[in-house]
Chain A
Amino acid sequence: MREAAVGTIARQAEGLLKVRQIRFHYSSQATVRQDGERGFEIGPMDLAVRPGEVLSVCGPNGSGKTTLLSLLGGWRKPQTGEVLLGGGEASRLTARERARRVAFVSQESPLLFPMTVAQFVLLGRYAYLGGTGFESAADWEAAQESLRRLTLLELASQRMDRISGGEKQRAILARALAQQPELLLLDEPTANLDLNFQVEFLALVRSLAQKEKLAVVVVLHDLNLAAEFSDRVLLLRRGKALRLGTPEEVFQQPLLESTYGLRLLVDRNPVSGRPRISIAARTSGSGDR
């Protein structure tokens, strides 16, 4: 017990996820960008995320936010520098090892054939399957436990294509939790949800991060949601880290205005005390008065 606690403290001190001086660019930059923008290099960048911490990544479209996530999870390897996950290089892990440590949540993708919520969540146990290819009692327990945490037990036997968008997003998160990861990466997880579900989902992610000591990195477009739900924010533009710090440190009017090319008003949310970002004027291109 004491050893475990010491281990946790040591891990917290050094950071579960450590990024040292990474640089990355796509080998054929012309084919990658779909928005017509020319390719750019990501980094050089340093970053550390502790267990229990929620780090938001914000920035204009095409800043390299999603690419950064795939570097953090080790699905892509940086050209220079290293991404360390619990001390080892992330890109060296096998797919199976990685799936036990890193889970990735994006927007829901359509399913080809119907399956129940429980079956869907059990897919998160793939990386733990033994030789028979069938889930053990422990796998089943883990899936049930993630269903319970996300209050999906009632829906377990429902078909995935018959539940609401918010419930689907929770099922995807439940599948990620069933992987029992240390690092949870989320790519605009709330893009398809209404405001109510967005808040509910992010509050859930936050409480899971604290309870399970998960390190969470979440790409968010909505700056107000990022301000409310994250411990720290990384502001990216064209692959460069403009600022990394608490929401108060990062969401400052001049920095945000120059990053987004938009006149903004930044004040304090009277209820939460967190920064609040409002649009002060339209973009200069469409009628700045």
Chain B
Amino acid sequence: MTFSPPARTRNTEGRLTLGRVCLTCGLLAVALAGAGALALHFGSAGELWRVLFGGSPATPQERVILLELRLPRVILAMLVGAALATAGACFQSLLRNPLADPYVLGISSGAALGTILTLLLAGGDTVAAPLAAFGGALAAAGVVYALGYRRGQFSGYSLLLAGMVTASFLSAIIVFLSTTLSGSDLRGLAFWLMGDLSLFPGFPLSVVALPILAGLVVVYRFAPDLNLLLLGEDEAARLGVNLKLVKTVIYVCAALLTGLSVSVAGAVGFLGLLVPHLARQLFGSDYRLLLPAGALCGAILLVAADTLARTAIAPAELPVGAFTAMAGAPLFVYLLRRRTPS
């Protein structure tokens, strides 16, 4: 037995430590706070700085706009951005497909259908809608999973096709149901379907905020498992992953994150695809960093996109989903061409 001195610890090999994760996420959190402050600031009325720091005292109207309209909306954008980015990263590992995304796979459509059904049957109950959206997302993910799974593995194309078929089938049902709506409701629905963060006043944000935060935490506990799932299910199991448990938890959490996001913000497209890929370029593909950093990036991006949607043609608003889809669809094509799934 020859003695060899321990190899010098170099970090060029990409060793990930808790410290590096905390540092990166800390910086991103500061950026997120900055984005949030800017989003509060921009708008048709009421400048943030003046309300917060005095100068001339803010009018009650300005306070309402800032604290009761804009603030919940900014928080919602953060939550939905984080949730969709995380759900996308989860589906990419779970389905072993870099093109997986809740919107592309039709899982958002399942959630949208669930929400619309409660809207028609229960009149937009604030608890029933997120629950039904969760159920719809779970069912749609189950269908896509079953259709895309062939001989013990996922085939890239059959998975994407299964998602597309599911999405168009569900959209057809949504269109069918929407014919029962009257003019203004119909316009609201179309807006919401594209992805829209304008909450109706007095919406209890915590109904979706708490489950989304819980989902994010639970998913993060499984980050090492998601790393191994990328190698394929057999290999992950041989390296020690409890497949049944991990797949169930990730599938339920990803559906929860998608469902809750859609129930309040509609189908914000491609964020789940766009953000994990962006984060991989910036931070590498280790899920222990990718998940929290991706969630924060998703939050920043959606806050920025929503501010743009809110102010670009003020006083009118654009649906934020239109912006994310315009950025996401070309990226999808680029990824599809660059690495065609087998």
Q: Which residues of A contact B15 (CB under 8 A)?
A: 118-119, 122, 135, 140
Contacts known (A118-B15, A134-B17); A111 close to B231, Cβ less than 8 A: yes
Name the residue among B7, B241, B243, B280 with the largest chain A CB count within 10 angstroms: B7
B249 located at the interface, meaning its Cβ lies under 8 Å from any Cβ of chain A in the complex? no
23 A–B contacts from the bound complex (CB under 8 Å): A75-B237, A94-B242, A98-B240, A99-B238, A99-B239, A100-B240, A109-B232, A109-B235, A111-B230, A112-B97, A113-B230, A115-B284, A115-B285, A116-B13, A122-B15, A123-B227, A124-B239, A129-B224, A134-B17, A134-B18, A144-B7, A156-B13, A179-B239
Q: Which 3 A-B pairs have the closest CB atoms?
A: A99-B240, A118-B13, A127-B240
Q: Which residues of B contact A132 (CB under 8 A)?
A: 18
Contact of B240 among A109, A126, A140, A141 (CB under 8 A): A126
For chain B, residues 7 to 48, give those with C-beta under 8 angstroms from any C-beta of chain A. Answer: 7, 9-10, 12-18
A112 to B338, CA, bound (A): 12
The residue on B at minimum CB distance from A119 is B14
B247 located at the interface, meaning its Cβ lies under 8 Å from any Cβ of chain A in the complex? no
**Contact flags B44-64 to A (C-beta < 8 A → 1, else 0):** 000000000000000000000
The residue on A at minimum CB distance from B232 is A109
A135 to B14, CA, bound (A): 12
Q: How many residues of A contact B (CB 8 A)?
A: 41
* Shortest CB distance A239–B (Å): 21
B193 located at the interface, meaning its Cβ lies under 8 Å from any Cβ of chain A in the complex? no
A96 to B245, CA, bound (A): 13
The residue on B at minimum CB distance from A153 is B7
Q: Are B14 and A116 within 8 A (Cβ)? A: yes
B288 located at the interface, meaning its Cβ lies under 8 Å from any Cβ of chain A in the complex? yes
Binding site for A on B (CB under 8 A): 4, 6-7, 9-10, 12-18, 92, 96-98, 221, 223-224, 227-228, 230-232, 235, 237-243, 280, 284-286, 288
Q: Are A133 and B228 within 8 A (Cβ)? A: no
A113 to B4, CA, bound (A): 33
Q: Are B10 and A157 within 8 A (Cβ)? A: yes
A147 to B7, CA, bound (A): 10
A127 to B286, CA, bound (A): 17
The residue on A at minimum CB distance from B93 is A112
Q: Are B228 and A75 within 8 A (Cβ)? A: no
A117 to B284, CA, bound (A): 14
Q: Are B14 and A157 within 8 A (Cβ)? A: yes
A148 located at the interface, meaning its Cβ lies under 8 Å from any Cβ of chain B in the complex? yes
A207 to B201, CA, bound (A): 72
Q: Which residues of B contact A118 (CB under 8 A)?
A: 13-15
A245 located at the interface, meaning its Cβ lies under 8 Å from any Cβ of chain B in the complex? no
A114 to B237, CA, bound (A): 21
Q: Are B242 and A126 within 8 A (Cβ)? A: no
For chain A, residues 75 to 102, give those with C-beta under 8 angstroms from any C-beta of chain B. Answer: 75, 94-96, 98-100, 102
Name the residue among A104, A126, A175 with the largest chain B CB count within 10 angstroms: A126
Given A123-B231, A123-B239, A144-B7, 18 more pairs with CB closer than 8 A = A73-B238, A96-B242, A100-B240, A104-B238, A111-B230, A112-B96, A113-B230, A115-B285, A116-B13, A118-B13, A119-B15, A126-B239, A129-B224, A133-B221, A134-B17, A134-B18, A140-B9, A179-B239
Q: Which residues of A contact B16 (CB under 8 A)?
A: 134
A147 to B237, CA, bound (A): 23
Q: Which residues of A contact B235 (CB under 8 A)?
A: 109
Q: Which residues of A contact B10 (CB under 8 A)?
A: 157
A135 to B15, CA, bound (A): 9
Q: Are B98 and A113 within 8 A (Cβ)? A: yes
Q: Are A133 and B288 within 8 A (Cβ)? A: yes
A153 to B7, CA, bound (A): 9
Q: Which residues of A contact B18 (CB under 8 A)?
A: 132, 134
A179 to B228, CA, bound (A): 14
Q: Which residues of B contact A156 (CB under 8 A)?
A: 13
For chain A, residues 172 to 228, give those with C-beta under 8 angstroms from any C-beta of chain B. Answer: 175, 179
Contact of B280 among A100, A113, A148 (CB under 8 A): A113
A258 to B280, CA, bound (A): 55
The residue on A at minimum CB distance from B243 is A95
Contacts known (A113-B98, A113-B280); A95 close to B14, Cβ less than 8 A: no
* Shortest CB distance B161–A (Å): 19
Q: Are B238 and A133 within 8 A (Cβ)? A: no
Q: Are B98 and A112 within 8 A (Cβ)? A: yes
* Shortest CB distance B61–A (Å): 49
* Shortest CB distance A143–B (Å): 9
A223 to B179, CA, bound (A): 71
* Shortest CB distance A95–B (Å): 5
Q: Are A126 and B228 within 8 A (Cβ)? A: yes
Q: Are A144 and B240 within 8 A (Cβ)? A: no
A161 to B242, CA, bound (A): 27
